Structure 1
Amino acid sequence: MTTSSTPPTPLALTLHQQSRVLEVQFSDGRTFKLPFELLRVLSPSAEVRGHGPGQEVLQTGKRDVTLMALEPVGHYGVQPTFSDGHNSGIYTWDYLYHLGSQQAKLWADYEAQLRAAGVTRDTPMSLPVSSCASRH
């Protein structure tokens, strides 16, 4: 008896600009609709994730971000360019599948991080969280 350990691969990627969603249909029959904002705030780039534990940068102000381009990277992923200029994340097929299959938990975790930082999804990135002191 052989077991297939081949991870699912995308059969189709569809950009829905008006609803700001990337729809990914995988070879195992599952289809995920990934909001551009989710893709942007959970970018696998070093700019977002940092270079080690504790260096993550909480992304805010990305609710209205759009995808300007989606370039293939080899046979294993894509590299999006977002409307805020971010384009350094490479999204492997495995990572896109993870984002889709865990979307509800990932959103909940992101919202908890925002609450813990005392910011909202719409807080501009240009304002450092530590300098939100009141002015007199």
Structure 2
Amino acid sequence: MARPWPETLDFSSADKRLHVRFDDGQAFEIPFETLRVESPSAEVQGHGPGEKKMVTGKKNVGVRAAEPVGRYAVRILFDDGHDSGLFTWDYLYALGEAAR
């Protein structure tokens, strides 16, 4: 079975959410705060099991830009300077399901 593929990514500064729709019909609204505190970067997740860092104080974080990475991910540049996480389509889908 094919993995869901994003059809649209809309970073809305008005409601501070990523609106994403996948080709399997699923649509999610993921708060920027969630994207920031769950960033897949080593800075947040650590380099091994049990090393995840608790990130707080990101309720009002914004997104400055988003850059495609190949055909498998997007790099999000947050307005607090964080920009090292690569959000794969599978990871965004999982965050979207968890944000429901």
TM over 0.5: yes
Pick one of 10, 13, 19 that aligns with 1:17: 13
Instruction: Kindly report the root-mean-square deviation, in angstroms, between the aligned alpha carbons of the 2 structures.
Output: 0.7
**TM-score normalised per structure 1:** 0.72
State the secondary structure of the residue aligned to 1:34: strand
Paired residue total? 100
Matched, 1:7 2:3: yes
Higher fraction of helix: 1
2:50 is matched with which residue? 54
Higher relative CO (CA 8 A, sep ≥ 6), structure 1 or 2?
Answer: 2
Q: Note the 1:92-111 alignment, pairs <5 A.
A: 92-104=88-100
Larger Rg: 1
Percent of pairs identical after alignment?
Answer: 51
Normalised by the length of structure 2, the TM-score is 0.97
Moved over 6 A (4+): none
Q: Which one-letter code corresponds to 1:51 in the other structure? A: H
Query: Hey, what's the Cα distance between the residues in 2 that align with 1:33 and 1:58?
Result: 22
Q: CA deviation at 1:18?
A: 1.2
